[in-house]
Structure 1
Amino acid sequence: MITRLTPQDTSFFRLESSSNPMHIGSLAIVRDPYPGEHSAEGVPQSTDSPGPLTHDRLLDLVGRRLPLVPRYRHRVREVPYQIGRPVWVPDSGFDLTRHVRCSALPAPGTDAQLLDLVAQLASRPLEQTRPLWEMHLIEGLSGGRRAIFTKSHAALVDGTTALEIGHVILDTTPVPRALNPVAWFPEREPADLELLAMTAIELAGQPSEALEAIRRPLAGTAGRVLGAVRTAAGGTPDGPFNAPTSRNRRLEVVSTNLDDYRTIRKRFDCSVNDAVLAVVTGALRVFLQSRGEVLTESEVLRAVVPMAVYPDQAEPSRPDAGGEVSSFLIDLPVGEQNPVMRISHIAHATETNYANRRGVRARVLVHMAGFAPASLHAMSVRAASTFAEHTFNLVITNAPGPQRPMYVGGARMLEMYPVSPLLRNQTTTIGITSYDGRVFYGLNADRDAMADIGVLAAAVDESMEEMLGACVQ
């Protein structure tokens, strides 16, 4: 089936560059199954281990689940002369082994080696002549663990018509759910003349879009000139979080306890999202001070905060379909020394912005096995992209995940870290996901501009201790 990319999908596809690949990443750490593995309800599922999660087993699992995400077998084709928006077309040469790959660390691989490898994988743009996704099984990790790093282009995952592939391979028990096999046969791709004819017919009935198609090349040139003038004029915020990015990335991760955020929420009568932002703000304050920044009391960092919003604001873990992803700008009070005042400012700002939020309806958040955090992060990045780049310092995404153990081909998922892309002139992005009682941070940064991103990661724990100390005062 041939469908045209939406205007936002088109912008993500065309604005990607070698220094700003626009894919949503997700890093899952799994442990190989063992005999007698129990379900989330404590019921033994099998007396026999299904064996380690090998590349062949992952290939088989992904192949069986691909019918749940049919767009993952489609690639993007530009219409000749870029007349009209690009289209999704079936990839007649689709080869699953080119998308599900296997790498190995020198055993026993350390967490630092894993993060370095994932940062390298995250640095590479996806091949635009094939479906825009990859999944990497990484073996050799210490302690009988393996890692699965998935990246899907932001143009591919919209959270409604297309969920992220890493979600549909998850199961709630060690025994993968059975799906009826669906035969797949590659469809014929349209020729260039067919695409031109189809586009001409569509534009004939849409005069405004036809005019836009004619103006697009000139507008693109004007936009580049305007961007250069704005940069020269200093329109983009100054500071370590705003600078041109290189082609290389560095990834740091942090694992925290969800109950700690609930403690903060209860003590200060705010939402868990407010508690998360307060901890992040404290960590950013420590990071800036480590760089010798002199912070006045009124100093702020402006963040785009696309938060997952549900009917119960106090709980980020409820499986409520029909929520929405909202996005707003918020000033994080990094200059405020008192943690109680910081969370008070944040709670007031989020409450004020709630009524004026920009919402993206998440119609399909639940698909057989709880929430789809990577899909929500993709929607959050989409929401963030609606703001002008010179109006904020960084992007923080927060997406709830399932609060019970999940499995991939029998292997229990222990941790899950989001790896969100860097938008233009953004040197750092902070992705946050809750899962099974933990809150996981993925800090994706430009390797050149943010060589000290490890300081920010370590500061998260320091900030948490400060907030919990304020709870007992």
Structure 2
Amino acid sequence: MAEHLTPLDTSLLHVEDADRHTHLGIGALAVLDGPIPDHQALVSVLGERIAACPRFSQRLRRRVLDLRTAEWVADHNFKLANHVCRIAVPGPGTDAELFSVVAEVMSWRLDRDRPLWEIWVIDGLSGGRWALLVKVHPCIADAVATVHILAGLSDEGITHGGGGGPEPSREHTGWRGALRAGASVAVDAMIGAMQAEQTLRGVARFATGLVRPITPLNGPLTSRRRYTGARVSAGEVEQICRAFQVTVDDVALAAITESYRNILLRRGEWPRADSLRTMVPIPQAVLLPRLPVDEDHPVVRLRMVHARLAEATMAAKRGNAWMAVARAIPAPVTAWAANVLSRLPQRSVVALAATAAGPDRPLQIMGRHVSAVYPIPPVALQLRTGAAILRYGDSLFFGILADYGAVAHADELARGIEAAVHRLLARSRRPRQAGPVRDRHGLSLVVNN
């Protein structure tokens, strides 16, 4: 029996359909030590490991008028060569050239007539290095699962995975599961109407936070992307967490906040309290916290981020989240809601920020050590910048995908993140002088100077 997409996954397709410049490919970039393997041998090994996951040889079949969710069917024309590609970076082969190639690949929409994934083998990097770029559609795997797909392709994925491969972990709970078998058409229609009403309320709550004054950092998407990465010491981030009793997510978002603040200042715009609202996905919900770009003090800003994330998480648990609503609604309603959200003139949410757990051990592919793993988030719904964070080894990696027109030099955002972490680290080593500070939104904070 064919397996259907969940309504939530189907809504991702509708978001793409509503805007020709939106393509929701996500991915992971692995940088490896050389030498690069023989291409045919590498393709053969990747093919063997991919074969362990049936989803990688299936394509989507959509229904007329989207009256039912799309379903996965076998692609009888599947050819591995159509999905494993090779590309070389221009000289001198630094990370800057590598990230430019990633941006180019992530600018292309995945072909809906084929299985929704690609692997790019990238050679020509300095120091004899090479890279693997795994690109998938989020209806196959989310940001966390994409990293695990990469781990499944590694040598360790075979030796430690009990013969498994890159099997993406997905939740398959569609709206049909809520309907009793054999229920009458009238009962089905009534349940659908109730779910639609709940969806409208959820969309309304979600939308009220979107229409805000315009900033230079948001707006319609173009077809081009920029990509860059940042790398900081995980040990240093943990030292910051211990010093100020915050989480890794807090430190990461505080660093992103400072970098955005400096970009706004360089553009001649004074940061306001409502200048930067960020979409932060968590299990079963989406948070929309305002990040304190108006605050100059790095520790005060870190505390404010911590408090606002906690407050937003509690609000999400009370059900004020589109994601929580969208998992249980009929396909036509989900399509309508996704189309409405994609067309809203939202000018408040500027960026997506997501965290993912990285591989829990060092990886190798055909005996070559994986020295770095950068996540690649999506951009959509006029959110022109996405930042994803994961830990691999002793480093915390930031991957930043931006619309070409959002940040003229995406690299300045990455370098600003690194500088912000170093600034917090320096503060964490100072003698502590705790004192109460009041957030402009009424939250009582305790700040170590």
Give the shorter-chain TM-score range.
0.7 to 0.9
Of 456-465 and 415-424, the range deviating more from structure 2 = 456-465
What is the CA–CA distance in structure 2 between the aligned matches of 1:349 and 1:171, rounded to whole Å? 41
Of 330, 339, 347, which aligns to 2:289?
A: 330
Q: 1:397 is matched with which residue?
A: 354
Q: 1:126 is matched with which residue?
A: 110
Q: Output the aligned Cα RMSD.
A: 3.6
Q: 1:416 is matched with which residue?
A: 373
> 1:447-470 deviations in whole A, cap 9, x for unaligned?
123223222122112212221222
Cα distance change of structure 1 residues 181 and 435 upon mapping to structure 2, 3 Å threshold:
closer
The alignment status of 1:279 with 2:238, answered yes or no, reads no
Of 452-461 and 78-87, the range deviating more from structure 2 = 78-87
What is the CA–CA distance in structure 2 between the aligned matches of 1:163 and 1:171, rounded to whole Å? 15
Classify the secondary structure of the residue corresponding to 1:442: strand
Q: 1:3 is matched with which residue?
A: 3
The amino acid that maps onto 1:98 is: N
1:53 Cα deviation after fit: 2.6
Q: 1:244 is matched with which residue?
A: 220
Classify the secondary structure of the residue corresponding to 1:60: helix
TM-score, length of structure 1 as denominator length: 0.72
The alignment status of 1:295 with 2:271, answered yes or no, reads yes
Asked if the contact 2:151/2:359 (under 8 Å) is kept, the reply is no
Q: 1:143 is matched with which residue?
A: 127
TM-score, length of structure 2 as denominator length: 0.75
Asked if the contact 1:32/1:410 (under 8 Å) is kept, the reply is no
Asked if the contact 1:428/1:443 (under 8 Å) is kept, the reply is yes
1:205 Cα deviation after fit: 5.7
Structure (1 or 2) with the greater helix fraction: 2
Cα distance change of structure 1 residues 250 and 158 upon mapping to structure 2, 3 Å threshold:
closer
Asked if the contact 2:14/2:339 (under 8 Å) is kept, the reply is no
1:300 Cα deviation after fit: 4.8
Q: 2:307 is matched with which residue?
A: 348
- Give the number of aligned pairs: 381
What is the CA–CA distance in structure 2 between the aligned matches of 1:421 and 1:53, rounded to whole Å? 30
Q: 1:304 is matched with which residue?
A: 279
1:346 Cα deviation after fit: 1.6
What is the CA–CA distance in structure 2 between the aligned matches of 1:206 and 1:454, rounded to whole Å? 58
* Structure 2 unaligned regions, length at least 5: 166-179, 320-337, 431-449
Of 388, 395, 398, which aligns to 1:438?
A: 395
Classify the secondary structure of the residue corresponding to 2:290: strand
Asked if the contact 1:74/1:91 (under 8 Å) is kept, the reply is yes
Structure 2 matches for 1:105-254, cutoff 5 A? 105-106=89-90, 108-158=92-142, 165-172=149-156, 207=185, 235=211, 237-254=213-230
Cα distance change of structure 1 residues 89 and 300 upon mapping to structure 2, 3 Å threshold:
same
> 1:360-391 deviations in whole A, cap 9, x for unaligned?
9xxxxxxxxxxxxxxxxxxxxxxxx9996736
Asked if the contact 2:47/2:80 (under 8 Å) is kept, the reply is yes
1:165 Cα deviation after fit: 3.5
Cα distance change of structure 1 residues 386 and 209 upon mapping to structure 2, 3 Å threshold:
farther
> 1:111-140 deviations in whole A, cap 9, x for unaligned?
222111111100000011000110000111
The alignment status of 1:88 with 2:72, answered yes or no, reads yes
What is the CA–CA distance in structure 1 between the aligned matches of 2:50 and 2:318, rounded to whole Å? 29
Of all paired residues, the percent bearing the same amino acid is 29
Asked if the contact 2:228/2:401 (under 8 Å) is kept, the reply is yes
Cα distance change of structure 1 residues 99 and 204 upon mapping to structure 2, 3 Å threshold:
farther
Of 442, 453, 456, which aligns to 2:410?
A: 453
